[in-house]
Structure 1
Amino acid sequence: MEFKSYKNDVLKAMKDCKKEFCEGVGTLVVAEAQGLTPVLTGNLKRSVTYEVMSDNAGVNVGVTNSAPYAVVIEKGLSGHKAQPFLEPGAMKSVSKVTNIAENIYRKLGGA
């Protein structure tokens, strides 16, 4: 009797799930951070973005080069009070990350 291996199929499915999870987390954190972004012209809010790591092991959230002043807003300077939005946006997202994983699991036919 010959057995068929599903190893490659399982590994691909796991990789796809990890990518989808990272995309979901990135989208969530960006939305939360944008909601906390101090808006003057809207450029800073529009510049908040994310990138999934090449190995799908995580997500980098930050701002594009169109808002080089973001660090001054986030961390402040002498004479300029900090108005954090990236770190609080990430922290606000933590409790919702489980929902992303559960939705992916359900979509794939889980309980």
Structure 2
Amino acid sequence: MTDSSNQQLLAQIGDAWARARKTQPLWAKVATEAGTLQSLEGPVSYEAGDYICRGVNDDFWVQDESKVLEKYDSTPKTAGRALFPKPKATKSSSRRSTTASRSTMRAAS
């Protein structure tokens, strides 16, 4: 896609962007070693200490700890963690999350 076609697309959908408040917990596991998730968009690399996250629709993605804790309150550390949205945390729907299948998540852990 060229810059001009990107601009045309953005002009067409301009007002369709929306902001959403996080209301559901995020399940996350801290990676103990580097690896790769095979997402729907392709392979996504992660490092030890990154969070492998699972959303409410069983979508998976990788985030670094600072980004997760900026938006979510942590629960006690266990093998898997539920993180609850901070009151003022919002996300833009302008960016699709990186997703992976449940079987890929199991293979990565």
Normalised-by-shorter TM-score class: under 0.3
More strand by share: 2
The TM-score with structure 2 as length reference comes to 0.20
More helix by share: 1
Q: Which one has the largest radius of gyration?
A: 1
**Which has the higher relative contact order, 1 or 2, with Cα contacts under 8 A spaced 6 or more apart?**
2
